[in-house]
């Protein structure tokens, strides 16, 4: 009887863990879709609220800048709060802000609601990783990160196109109501199944191999690679039209190709994170460099442009995903603080890359922005090479820190 009860307990624990991860995947998809939805319904919002297209575009820019600025401070301020309480509060903010956005008829109300969502997303990305991977043994944690990344990537391939279509058919407010519903589902599952415990007691609260040097190299890689990617990719539509000669009607299909390549990239990379932690970051950064420089050198040919665009699309998601996995491994302190720093570096790279490309566009042309982006990407690859060469020197632990052991296996979730 005791054996049967133990087996039942293990089965229940596994089911609850899987349900929590599925809810976090749905939340990641919802947050990413919410962040980028205005891109697809830009003109609808502009016409309805009687504001300029650039003002609506500012809803996306302001969102990204907010995430970049507040990620680290807000993660530090909430470091002692139980993760169950934090996640339910964040998802509650997402639901309420989405409904306020849908109900409001003012641009400023929409802007405030999106800033609230951005604040929630900034902390969500810092907390989500340690919570999810802490539910499973270390040997499969890379796969868990991969699942979360696939969910986030699907927002660009599925969420934005579906939200755009629904907005065109029913009005731009309707997709926001749907997103509020998805957020509510995630909230209920996490509130019901994620245990309440002190965050520092989580199995993934600390990196098993804390290393200041390695952690710094990952942050620099994230910032440089993302800056390089968005220095050119921000203007990819103009590039495909002016340089590659594609029609306006075909550009959306090409962007879908890049999105599908991105999903395939994170799907393939996820299972490899645990076995090849260094290569799974270096390879996508090298692929991104090749894609950026390839578009600069060969983008005038349509076939080459499509191939390079697919390479670029396939690299963007894996770079961030592999960087997160490296941060979870080498964080010199609490992992959610380290992940918040990496998220801040990522979003700062997005903003800086777009600004850099925009400043250089009149000088070097749209083709030149991809050369600049390729150089930044190559610099990120150089940082990884330097970190690898100096790894034998050691000295990565912060003063007074000791390597922390993660459990080799986890039991069922506590009741």
Q: pLDDT tens, 305-326?
A: 999 999 998 998 889 888 888 8
Can you say how many angstroms the Cα of residue 11 is from the centroid of all Cα atoms in its chain?
31
172 & 241 share domain: no
Q: Is residue 35 part of a domain?
A: yes
Report the alpha-carbon distance of residue 207 to residue 175 in Å, rounded: 38
User: What is the pTM assigned to this prediction?
Assistant: 0.75
Tell whether 232 and 197 lie within a shared domain.
no
Residue 334 and residue 363 in one domain: yes
Q: Among residues of the chain, what percentage have pLDDT more than 70?
A: 87
Is 409 a member of any domain? no
DSSP letter at 406 equals: P
Q: Using CB atoms within 10 A of its CB, is residue 409 exposed (0-12), middle (13-18) or buried (19+)?
A: exposed
Q: Which of 66-70, 106-110, 135-139, 201-205 has the lowest mean pLDDT?
A: 201-205
Provide the mean pLDDT of the chain. Answer: 82
Instruction: Answer yes or no: are the C-beta atoms of 229 and 284 closer than 8 Å.
Output: no
Co-location of 197 and 268 in the same domain: no
Would you say residue 207 lies in a domain? no
> Are 173 and 271 members of one domain?
no
What would the two tokens of residue 68 be? 């970049």
For residue 383, the model assigns a pLDDT of 94
Distance CA 64, CA 144 (A): 25
Whether residue 407 lies inside any domain: the answer is no
Residues 236 and 345 in one domain: yes
Task: Verify that 107 and 9 share a domain, yes or no.
Answer: yes
pLDDT at 278: 81
Task: Report the share of the chain in percent with pLDDT over 90.
Answer: 27
The CATH number given to whatever domain includes residue 389 is 1.20.1250.20
Tokens of 209: 């191999």
Residue range of the domain that includes 356: 212-393
How many beta carbons lie within 10 A of that of residue 395, not counting itself?
8
Structural domain count, the chain? 2
Question: H-helix or E-strand containing 260?
Answer: helix 248-269
Average pLDDT over residues 380-409: 61
Same domain, 238 and 335: yes
pLDDT-based confidence at residue 199 (cuts at 50, 70, 90): low
Residue pair 295/305 in contact (Cβ under 8 Å)? The answer is yes
Residue range 33-50: average pLDDT?
Answer: 79
Confirm whether 399 is domain-assigned: no
Instruction: Tell me: do 251 and 154 sit in the same domain.
Output: no
In three-state secondary structure terms, 107 is helix
Q: Is the distance from CB of 53 to CB of 42 less than 8 angstroms?
A: yes
Rounded Cα–Cα distance for residues 91 and 110 (Å): 18
Taking a C-beta distance cutoff of 8 angstroms, is the pair 292, 228 a contact?
A: yes
Most confident listed range (131-135, 184-188, 236-240, 357-361): 184-188
Instruction: Kindly tell me if the per-residue pLDDT of 402 is higher than 50.
Output: no
């Amino acid at each position: 009887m005791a054996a049967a009860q133990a087996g039942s307990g293990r089965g229940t624990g596994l089911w609850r863990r899987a349900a929590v991860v599925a809810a976090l995947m749905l939340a990641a998809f919802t947050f990413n879709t919410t962040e980028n939805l205005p891109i697809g319904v830009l003109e609808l919002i502009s016409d309805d609220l009687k504001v300029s297209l650039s003002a609506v575009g500012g809803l996306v820019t302001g969102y990204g800048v907010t995430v970049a600025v507040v990620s680290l401070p807000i993660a530090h301020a909430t470091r002692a709060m139980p993760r169950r309480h934090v996640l339910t509060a964040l998802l509650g903010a997402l639901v309420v802000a989405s409904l306020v956005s849908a109900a409001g008829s003012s641009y400023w109300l929409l802007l405030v609601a999106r800033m609230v969502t951005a604040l929630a997303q900034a902390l969500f990305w810092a907390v989500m990783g340690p919570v999810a991977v802490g539910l499973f043994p270390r040997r499969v944690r890379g796969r868990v990160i991969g699942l979360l990344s696939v969910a986030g990537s699907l927002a660009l391939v599925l969420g934005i196109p579906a939200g755009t279509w629904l907005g065109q058919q029913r009005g731009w407010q309707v997709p926001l109501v749907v997103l509020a519903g998805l957020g509510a589902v995630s909230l209920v599952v996490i509130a019901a199944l994620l245990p309440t415990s002190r965050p520092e007691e989580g199995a993934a609260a600390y990196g098993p191999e804390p290393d200041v040097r390695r952690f710094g190299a990952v942050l620099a890689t994230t910032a440089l690679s993302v800056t390089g990617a968005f220095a050119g990719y921000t203007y990819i539509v103009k590039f495909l039209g002016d340089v590659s000669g594609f029609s306006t009607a075909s550009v959306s299909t090409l962007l879908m190709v890049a999105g599908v390549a991105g999903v395939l990239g994170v799907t393939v990379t996820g299972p490899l994170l645990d076995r090849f932690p260094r290569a799974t970051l270096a390879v996508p950064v090298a692929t991104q460099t090749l894609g950026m420089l390839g578009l600069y050198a060969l983008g005038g040919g349509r076939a080459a442009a499509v191939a390079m665009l697919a390479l670029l699309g396939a690299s963007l998601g894996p770079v961030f995903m592999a960087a997160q996995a490296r941060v979870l491994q080498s964080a010199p302190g609490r992992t959610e603080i380290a992940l918040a720093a990496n998220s801040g570096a990522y979003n700062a790279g997005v903003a800086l890359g777009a600004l850099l490309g925009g400043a250089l566009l009149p000088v070097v042309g749209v083709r030149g922005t991809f050369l600049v982006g390729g150089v930044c990407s190559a610099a990120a690859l150089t940082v990884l090479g330097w970190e690898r060469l100096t790894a034998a020197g050691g000295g990565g632990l912060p003063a007074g820190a000791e390597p922390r052991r993660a459990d080799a296996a986890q039991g069922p979730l506590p009741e």
